[in-house]
Amino acid sequence: MIINILAGGPEELLPDFTDYTEENNIWVGVDRGVFHLLNRNIIPEIAFGDFDSVSPEELVFIERQVSKMKRYKPEKDETDMELALNWALAQKPSIIRLFGATGGRLDHLFANVHLLLNPLKEKNPASVYMIDRHNIAYLKEPGSYSIEKMKTKKYISFVPLTLEVSGITLVGFKFPLKNKHISLGSTLCISNELISDYGTFSFSEGILIVIRSHD
């Protein structure tokens, strides 16, 4: 099962959803993201939010089409996206994709990046990806991983999310590395590229954000 969650980030940053229409998809709307889904003729299975970012007329439009809504007061401990992600993790999907989670307010962006840590903290096996028109981002814990070249997103960056990431090794990259240590704030692993169809990256300690992107 794959769960796609659409939040209310800028519409111009949303990718083409026809690339994400597998038969086993479940769509979830978050706040204004529900309105964006309905405008694309996608009815979410469930919607989350305080809906303070939609007009009264838009809210009526949403309520007429979405049968299952979880409405909250604006004064709450979790963000709307966190509530939706927690629900999605509880469904035990293989993949969760977060759309509409970038652009706009920086506080929302940083909060959503840190939400990628939740499945790691809970030892939940779901792979969570944050996706917009220009980027795909996900987290990795220590290990060795294969990575495939993407024609549409040729740049690959590895950004530490912990104070230190130890033993990072890149094979098959334009700028290879062997057993390097990078610290929070380092730009050493920004904008690398694969030189063949596949490469590998590995590291022994820390947490990395892997970002696939294009200009």
Q: For the whole model, what pTM was predicted?
A: 0.92
Predicted confidence at residue 18, as pLDDT, reads: 85
Residue 214: pLDDT over 80: yes
34 band by pLDDT with thresholds 50, 70 and 90: very high
At 69, which CATH number? Answer: 3.40.50.10240
Of 133, 150, 183, the position where a domain reaches its end is: 133
Predicted confidence at residue 74, as pLDDT, reads: 77
21 band by pLDDT with thresholds 50, 70 and 90: confident
Question: Is residue 25 domain-shared with residue 113, that is, in the same domain?
Answer: yes
Closest CA to 179 of 166, 171, 167, 189: 167
Q: How would you classify residue 92: left for phi > 0, otherwise alpha for psi between -120 and 50, otherwise beta? A: left
Residue 48: pLDDT over 80: yes
Question: What rounded mean pLDDT belongs to the chain?
Answer: 93
Note the pLDDT tens digit of each residue in 156-191.
Answer: 999 999 999 999 999 999 999 999 999 999 999 999
Name the H helices within 15-152.
Answer: 32-39, 56-65, 80-90, 106-115, 118-121
Question: Is residue 99 domain-shared with residue 85, that is, in the same domain?
Answer: yes
The boundaries of the domain holding residue 44 are 2-133
Average pLDDT over residues 35-64: 90
Question: Is residue 53 domain-shared with residue 9, that is, in the same domain?
Answer: yes
Question: Is residue 161 domain-shared with residue 62, that is, in the same domain?
Answer: no
Question: Is residue 10 domain-shared with residue 106, that is, in the same domain?
Answer: yes
Note the pLDDT tens digit of each residue in 94-149.
Answer: 999 999 999 888 998 999 999 999 999 989 999 999 999 999 999 999 999 999 99
Contact criterion met (CB below 8 Å) for 5 and 98: yes
The total number of structural domains that make up the chain: 2
Predicted confidence at residue 77, as pLDDT, reads: 81
Predicted confidence at residue 20, as pLDDT, reads: 85
Predicted confidence at residue 215, as pLDDT, reads: 84
Of 115, 133, 151, the position where a domain reaches its end is: 133
Length of the chain: 215
